[in-house]
């Protein structure tokens, strides 16, 4: 990384500066307009000429657009670029040389990357670490890792257990590894995400094994006290902070202003694991292919939903299959017998939580809108631009459903085909290697 490039060096032109200060100079205007955008004062500070900012509004009065509403896109892009550059340059190091204690963060690493939840917990670990001197935050992760930014997420030390035996559903092996870490490092805290991705499960196993009473659904933690949710999130429990914590999302802010060493830590070979491996009582048989259309509506993350505006039902089912979407329906489509009752979305059907809800030919009765209230993104395909669904949608397409669905199916099929090609190519490459 070149921290110091020639381009970024500040070069000053004393003559131009002098002309710019002197409003009576004949070249004053040209110099100013040439330097518009960025001018630096004698100390190198950025200077703005108040006479040049702003524009003349429609009624002839000068307006200064400090919120920058009107030139949003371009300016935003530029701003982003600038800030990322700056970050890459200026993030200070956070270095723990000879740790006197450890805080273990066992990450979910869904898809091999740190989740937002994981990062929040790393942030919390650093809050806890500041209460004592020279405490290192250690990330424990299992299986394959695609994460490249451990250093920016606040990982001081890294225990990466990449062995085959930790892949998939392997609570016994993982627990054995954690036990080994416990005896070897005796960490100050064990932090887990209280998540459905395995964090809560592993934490509970460790707590039961170590005989510690963990804090679950913790969301406010410091070195002495912890605030946990209890009784199905209806009460807060204030208690002394235990050694093992299962933490909710947003329990702390993620690390974003320091860089960390992410040095690998070695653990001793796992004797216990070897022993139990042969007689494992649980055997992972792998993931089951789940038909997207069989996923219960309430769980589905992408729903293609049909209403009264659908005429070609075969095409609709084909589109859902091509897009890998779970099928939903409005009440009318169900009443008319085109879709089974358990596919009905809405107040009188199922309340859905999909990330993307693609509503085709649904005008949006109030009961239906209630049912999709928790969806992140709503896309509408409808012929009526004035209907409620279009008003609610993040993207609305005013068209007959037939044509758009046909195009979507084509696009999805093409996308899948191209993906298969690339993956098979990759397969060949890796075989060759």
Partner 1 sequence: MMLDWLVPTLISVLLVLASIGAVRRINLWRAGQAEKVNMLAGLLAMPKRYLHDLHHVVDRDKYISRTHVVTGGGFVLAMVLVVCVHLFGVDSKILAWALLAALVMMFCGALFVYKRRINPPSRLSKGPWMRLPKSLLTFSITFFVLTLPAVGVLPEGFGGWLLTLVLSVLILMSLSEMLFGMTWGGPMKHAFAGALHLAFHRRPERFGGGRSTGLKPVDFGVGVSAKEVHGVAKPTDFKWNQLLGFDACVQCGRCEAVCPAFAAGQPLNPKKLIQDMVVGFAGGTDENYAGNPYPGIDLGHAKGEPNQIITDGLIHPDTLWSCTTCRACVEECPMMIEHVDAIVDMRRFLTLEKGETPNKGAQVLENIIATDNPNGYAPASRTHWAADQNLPVMKDVKQADVLFWVSDGAFDMRSQRILRAFVKLMKAANVDAAILGDEELDSGDVARRLGDDATFQSLAKRNLATLSTYQFNKIVTTDPHAFHCLKNEYGDFGSDALQNVEVLHHTMFLNRLVKDGLLQLEPFKGGKVTYHDPCYLGRYNGEYEAPRELLASLGIDVAEMERSKFRSRCCGGGGGAPITDIPGERRIADMRMEDVVSTGASMVAVGCQQCTAMLEGVVEPRPVVRDIAEILVGQLVEATSISVKEEVVHE
Partner 2 sequence: MPPNINVVSLVSIGRHPQSGRARRAEQDGRAVELGLTMVGEALTVLHAGNPQNPVLRQYAGMGLPSLTVLDQASSCDAVSVLLRYLRKNPTDIVLTGVRAERGESSGMLPYLLAEQLGWPLVPKVAEIVSVQDGKADVLLALPRGQRRSVQVSLPFIATIDNAAPEARQSAFGPGSRALFSIQKGDNLADDAFMEWKISPAKPRPKRLKVVKAKTAADRMKAATAKPVGGGGKIMKQESPEEKAQAIFDLLLEEKVIR
**Which stretch, 36-44, 70-78, 327-335, 389-397, contacts partner 1 (CB under 8 A)?**
327-335
Q: Does 238 bind partner 2 (CB under 8 A)?
A: yes
Binding residue (CB under 8 A) for partner 2 from 1, 10, 67, 417: 67
User: Which of 23, 62, 132, 209 is in the footprint of partner 2 by CB under 8 A?
Assistant: 209
Q: Out of 332, 334, 372, 390, which residue is the one contacting partner 2 (CB under 8 A)?
A: 390
Binding of partner 2 at residue 178 (CB under 8 A)? no
If you count them, how many residues does the chain have?
A: 433
Tell me which residues in 361-380 interact with partner 1 (CB under 8 A).
365-366, 370
Q: Around Cβ 262, how many Cβ atoms within 10 Å?
A: 18
332 binds, among partner 1, partner 2, none (CB under 5 to 8 A by kind): partner 1
Q: If DSSP codes are grouped into helix, strand and coil, which group holds residue 131?
A: coil
By CB under 8 A, residue 341 contacts partner 1: yes
Contact letters for partner 2, residues 10-49 (x by CB under 8 A): ----------------------------------------
| Contact call for residue 281 and partner 2 (CB under 8 A) | yes
User: Is residue 391 within the footprint of partner 1 (CB under 8 A)?
Assistant: no
Which does residue 355 bind out of partner 2, partner 1, none, counting CB within 5 to 8 angstroms by kind? partner 2
The pair of three-digit structure tokens given for residue 358, joined into one six-digit string: 């693609």
What residues have CB less than 8 Å from 330, skipping those under 6 apart?
305, 306, 307, 308, 344, 345, 346, 362, 365, 368
Strand partners, 381: 360, 397
Q: What gap in Å lies between CA 208 and CA 172, rounded to an integer? A: 13
Report whether 200 contacts 244 (CB < 8 A): no
- Tokens standing for 106? 């066992």
Q: Report the partner that residue 138 touches, choosing among partner 1, partner 2, none (CB closer than 5 to 8 A by kind).
A: none
Residue 377 near partner 2 by CB under 8 A: yes
The footprint of partner 1 on residues 301-320 (CB under 8 A) is 308
Work out which of 39, 40, 229, 317 binds partner 2, going by CB under 8 A.
229
Residue 122 or 297: which CB sits closer to partner 1? 297
Interface residue with partner 1, options 32, 292, 347, 397 (CB under 8 A): 347
d(CA 59, CA 55): 11
- Smallest distance from partner 1 to CB 350, Å: 11
**CA 330, CA 135: separation in Å to the nearest integer?**
56
Residue 12: exposed, middle, or buried by beta-carbon count in 10 A (0-12, 13-18, 19+)? exposed
Rounded least distance, CB 402 to partner 2, Å: 9
Q: What is the distance, to the nearest Å, from the Cα of residue 163 to the centroid of all Cα atoms in its chain?
A: 26
| H-run or E-run covering 414 | helix 401-432
d(CA 216, CA 74): 46
- Which ranges constitute the DSSP H helices of 155-239? 171-185, 199-210
Q: Which residues contact partner 1 by CB under 8 A?
A: 308, 331-332, 335, 337, 341, 347-348, 365-366, 370
């Amino acid at each position: 990384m070149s921290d110091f490039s020639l381009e970024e060096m500040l070069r000053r032109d004393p003559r131009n500066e002098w002309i710019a200060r002197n409003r009576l100079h004949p070249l004053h205007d040209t110099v100013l307009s040439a330097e518009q955008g960025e001018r630096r004062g004698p100390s190198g500070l950025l200077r703005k000429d108040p006479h040049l900012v702003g524009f003349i509004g429609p009624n002839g009065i000068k307006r200064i657009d400090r919120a920058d509403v009107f030139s949003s896109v371009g300016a935003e892009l530029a701003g982003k670029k600038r800030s990322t550059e700056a970050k890459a340059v200026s993030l200070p190091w956070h270095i723990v040389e000879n740790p006197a204690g450890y805080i273990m963060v066992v990450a979910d690493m869904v898809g091999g990357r740190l989740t937002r939840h994981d990062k929040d917990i790393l942030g919390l670990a650093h809050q806890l670490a500041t209460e004592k001197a020279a405490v290192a935050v250690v990330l424990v992760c299992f299986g394959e890792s695609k994460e490249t930014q451990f250093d920016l997420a606040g990982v001081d030390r890294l225990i990466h257990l990449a062995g085959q035996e930790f892949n998939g559903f392997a609570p016994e092996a993982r627990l054995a590894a954690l036990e080994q870490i416990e005896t070897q490092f005796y960490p100050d805290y064990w932090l887990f995400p209280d998540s459905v991705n395995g964090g809560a499960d592993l934490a509970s196993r460790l707590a039961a094994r170590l005989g510690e009473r963990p804090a679950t659904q913790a969301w406010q933690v410091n070195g002495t006290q912890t605030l946990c949710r209890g009784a199905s999130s209806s009460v807060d429990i204030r208690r002394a902070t235990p050694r093992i914590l299962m933490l909710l999302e947003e329990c702390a802010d993620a690390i974003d202003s320091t860089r960390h060493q992410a040095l690998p830590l070695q653990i001793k070979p796992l004797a216990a694991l070897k022993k139990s491996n042969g007689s494992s009582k649980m055997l992972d048989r792998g993931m089951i292919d789940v038909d997207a259309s069989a996923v219960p509506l309430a769980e589905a993350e992408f729903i293609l939903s049909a209403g009264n505006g659908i005429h070609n039902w075969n095409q609709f089912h084909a589109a859902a299959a091509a897009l890998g979407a779970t099928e939903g329906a409005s009440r009318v489509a169900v009443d008319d017998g085109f879709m089974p009752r358990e596919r009905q979305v809405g107040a009188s059907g199922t309340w859905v939580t999909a990330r993307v809800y693609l509503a085709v030919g649904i005008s949006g009765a109030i009961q239906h809108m209630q049912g999709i209230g928790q969806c992140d993104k709503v896309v509408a395909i409808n012929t009526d631009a004035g209907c409620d669904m279009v008003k609610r949608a993040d993207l609305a397409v005013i068209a007959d459903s037939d044509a758009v669905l046909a195009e979507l199916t084509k696009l999805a099929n093409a996308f899948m085909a191209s993906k298969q090609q690339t993956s098979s190519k990759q397969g060949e490459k890796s075989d060759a290697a």
